[in-house]
């Protein structure tokens, strides 16, 4: 079962379900969820092996899509789905395998393809932090700085640190074991004909022109929009623009 967090009241309009990316959690999306909840219910989740959700195997997209389907069925589905990066891939598999549960789909800065870059370095960096001597988030940040230069990335990772419990709220062993599945994309039969919004950062190289034929094959109605000045963390870097673009698409 996934840990879920709901904001806003059910009001007859389809709820919005938000799925975060690798090493993230529902709390990364708190501000955007709160803003979007002015017109309908918004549900954020901790994906499996993240946050407060269960540590389980496998960590692959059919399993993650199944988790999301369970949540949507509990909401009485169908819903509108927003997914970023890993959560975007899970949302795409959800739409392809559970067509009846998704009304509209927003995919934030990811394509349904296999990428060559591994995310193993972040796991190595988190493992390198000696949690036994960590008393504050600042203690952990100073250690992490030896391995991760970007302060923003460190702040993001540290949201998944339980300082008091001296433990990462991430199943690092399982994420490492399934890294090939995470950077890959499964063979999925079927097509999702519903509205799809591929919303990317203009400074990101995660969704390229070369990816478009495969996206259109699986999602014939896909539209493409890039947010200027944003990279892969498009929702964090340009939250107002991201929210406005999502709202326009979902309310159309």
Active site residues: 85, 173, 232
The DSSP output letter for 208 is: -
Which two three-digit tokens encode residue 50? 């993240």
Question: CA nearest 38: which of 19, 18, 11, 20?
Answer: 11
* CA–CA dist 44, 5 (Å, integer): 5
Which two three-digit tokens encode residue 215? 């996206």
Omega of the bond leading into 58 within 30 degrees of 0 (cis): yes
3-class DSSP state for residue 84?
strand
3-class DSSP state for residue 209?
helix
The DSSP output letter for 132 is: G
Which two three-digit tokens encode residue 28? 């990364």
Which two three-digit tokens encode residue 206? 């995660």
Which two three-digit tokens encode residue 95? 């739409």
* CA–CA dist 97, 223 (Å, integer): 20
Residues forming a β-bridge with 198:
107, 224
């Amino acid at each position: 079962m996934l840990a879920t967090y709901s904001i806003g009241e059910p009001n007859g309009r389809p709820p919005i379900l938000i799925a975060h990316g690798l090493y993230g959690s529902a709390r990364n999306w708190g501000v955007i969820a709160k803003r979007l909840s002015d017109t309908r219910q918004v549900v954020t989740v901790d994906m499996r092996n993240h946050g407060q959700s269960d540590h389980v195997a496998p960590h692959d997209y059919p399993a993650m899509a199944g988790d999301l389907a369970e949540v949507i069925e509990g909401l009485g589905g169908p819903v509108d789905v927003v997914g970023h990066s890993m959560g975007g891939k899970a949302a795409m598999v959800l739409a392809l395998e559970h067509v009846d549960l998704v009304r509209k789909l927003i995919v934030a800065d990811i394509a349904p393809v296999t990428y060559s870059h591994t995310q193993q370095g972040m796991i190595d960096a988190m493992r390198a932090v000696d949690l036994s001597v960590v008393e504050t988030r600042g203690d952990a940040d100073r250690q992490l700085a030896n391995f991760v230069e970007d302060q923003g990335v460190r702040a993001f990772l540290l949201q998944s640190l339980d300082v008091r419990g001296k433990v990462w709220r991430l199943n690092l062993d399982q994420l490492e074991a399934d890294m090939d599945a995470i950077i890959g994309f499964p063979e999925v039969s079927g097509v999702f004909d519903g509205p799809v919004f591929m919303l990317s950062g203009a400074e990101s190289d995660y969704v390229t022109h070369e990816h478009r034929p495969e996206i259109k094959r699986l999602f014939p109605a896909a539209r493409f929009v890039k947010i200027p000045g944003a990279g892969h963390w498009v929702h964090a870097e340009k939250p107002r623009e991201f929210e406005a673009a999502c709202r326009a698409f979902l309310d159309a």
